[in-house]
Amino acid sequence: MPTHFKYCKDRYDAVVIGSGLGGLTTANRLARCGHRVLLLEHHHRLGGLATWFKRKGHIFDVSLHGFPYGMVKTCKKYWNREIMNSIVQLRDIVFDNPQFSLKTTFDKQDFAALLTNRFGIDPKRIEAFFRRVDTMNFYDDRTMTTRELFEEFFPGRSDVHRLLMEPITYANGSTLEDPAITYGIVFSNFMNRGVFTFQGGTDQLIALMTRELEKNGVTICTGARVDRIETKNGRTTGVNVNGRTIGAPAVVSNSGITNTIYNLVGTDCFTDEFLEQADRIRVNNSSCQVYLGIRPDTSIEMIGDLIFSSRSPVFDSAELLDVNTRSKTFSVYYPKTRPGHDRYTIVASMNSRYEDWSKLDEEHYRLAKVALIDRTLDDLERYVPEIRAKIDWQEAATPRTFNRYTLHTRGTSFGTKFEGLDVSRSIFKQIGGLFHVGSVGIIMSGWLGAINYGVIVANDVDSYLRSIEKV
């Protein structure tokens, strides 16, 4: 049970700002190391973007569409077996667009077979492509773009480029112009063993994580928005919430990196060189989603777990971001998602620009959401005939929604582009005791990236706290 902020102590070893998967993991690891940890979350619920909401008996998952197999090992090692045991594979991944329609288990073997048999690519070329992306690592050359990588292996094959790129664009907002290395790392993670989900839903995952945090002694406060990170003589001294200061030698911000620098700390505390680097950070795009609850007396046929649906003639990053895009994913949640809960829900997700939504007045905003739902139902009709008669709840989220609930700059869904990582990793050199965890750069975003980054940052904070204990 969260503690009311007024009952928090005045001092902790570490304060974690934000309860996204990165913040939750850092808090848990630090508590396991024996530190006194306070976790502060501005929303009334833990999880950050790993969240859900209930309407009329339906439960809608916001970001549970699929993650790589790596989550199994990560959850076992850094959370617990119970969490690990709920991870199951999604078997029916569907692509449907004017260039091809196919179903795949989305693992390396199946992809290789599809590329050979369906797209007529020489198996040696496919092998060479997989070898190249498998061996890409963080320290590689960052000048080659994903477009150049695809052209090298599959010249002029826009259909193959689409098959390889579309899922990754949805997974992290990257484009063909991003560094090939960011593609390679994510692709090899996803393609290895298929796409996985959490049986029981996001609510169950966060409940299990909360239990683990409480067991390890983390003090959890929801509805507590941090206004400022306090610093003195180049070190952090704590945080300020609604006029009250909580002292701590270490502060970990799971708020966005740009938010952390410009709003929570303030530019006065950083060197010009660091700020120049921070100014160059580009935040990733945001998302729109449409949530559809199927009437309790109605079921829908198996049409796939995750459908990459598009009416665009070719893959086009700009079209995917357009407010009127006809490209979207449909995540279909059958009763098997939450055993014992007999509902069907469908969540449509689209990439989206904050600017397209932020400037609308309330009436135009409302109408734009109605139009978004309408276009989504038109597209879904192709897979679920007479869908309009089958739903009893429909609702849309936009970049404004994501901004409101997470406070992220421009409602970004996947943090920042690649350059955010160096800034996040070096902030402690600017302000002693201040650390950042959260989606920065493609490899540190998504559920797996955020948890893994949480572990890395917890190790840094633990070393820091031990080093100051000795002084």
CB of 87 to ligand FAD, least distance (A): 12
- In the complex with ligand FAD, the residue whose CB is nearer, 43 or 417, is 43
Q: x/- binding map, residues 120-159, to ligand FAD, per CB under 6 A? A: ----------------------------------------
Q: How far is the CB of 439 from ligand FAD (least distance, A)?
A: 4
Residue 17 within binding range of ligand FAD, rule CB under 6 A: yes
Given 29, 32, 35, 43, the residue binding ligand FAD (CB under 6 A):
43
Closest CA to 111 of 89, 127, 87: 127
User: Closest distance between ligand FAD and the C-beta of residue 426, in Å?
Assistant: 18
Min separation Cβ 241 and ligand FAD, Å: 8
- Contact between 210 and ligand FAD by CB under 6 A: the answer reads no
Q: Tell me, residue by residue from 285 to 304, as one string, x for binding to ligand FAD by CB under 6 A and - for no binding.
A: --x-x---------------
Taking a C-beta distance cutoff of 8 angstroms, is the pair 219, 167 a contact? Answer: no
**Cα dihedral sign, 92-95-96-102:** negative
CA angle 397, 170, 296 (to 5 degrees): 50
Kindly state whether residue 407 participates in binding ligand FAD, applying the rule CB under 6 A. yes
- 409 is a site residue for ligand FAD (CB under 6 A): no
Nearest to ligand FAD of 380, 450 (CB atom): 450
Q: Are 396 and 347 in contact (CB under 8 A)?
A: no
Rounded to 5 degrees, what are φ and ψ at 350? Answer: -135, 145
Find the angle CA(370)-CA(375)-CA(377) to the nearest 5 degrees.
95
Q: Using the rule CB under 6 A, is 48 a contact of ligand FAD?
A: yes
Shortest distance, CB of residue 259 to ligand FAD, whole angstroms? 6
Per CB under 6 A, does 179 bind ligand FAD? no
Task: Give the interface segment with ligand FAD, choosing from 3-11, 47-55, 202-210, 317-325 (CB under 6 A).
Answer: 47-55
Task: For the CB of residue 115, give the shortest distance to ligand FAD in the complex, in Å.
Answer: 24
Contact mark string toward ligand FAD, 377..406, x via CB under 6 A = -------------------------x---x
Q: Segment contacting ligand FAD (CB under 6 A): 48-56, 104-112, 425-433, 460-468?
A: 48-56
Q: Which of 12, 14, 23, 106 binds ligand FAD (CB under 6 A)?
A: 23
Q: Which of 182, 349, 401, 430 binds ligand FAD (CB under 6 A)?
A: 349
Nearer to ligand FAD, 136 or 229 (CB): 229
Contact with ligand FAD (CB under 6 A) among 76, 103, 225, 353: 225
Decide: is 2 part of the binding site for ligand FAD (CB under 6 A): no
**How many residues sit in the footprint of ligand FAD (CB under 6 A)?**
39
Interacting residues toward ligand FAD by CB under 6 A:
17-23, 40-43, 48-50, 62-63, 65-67, 225-226, 254-255, 259, 287, 289, 349, 402, 406-407, 413-415, 438-439, 445-447, 450
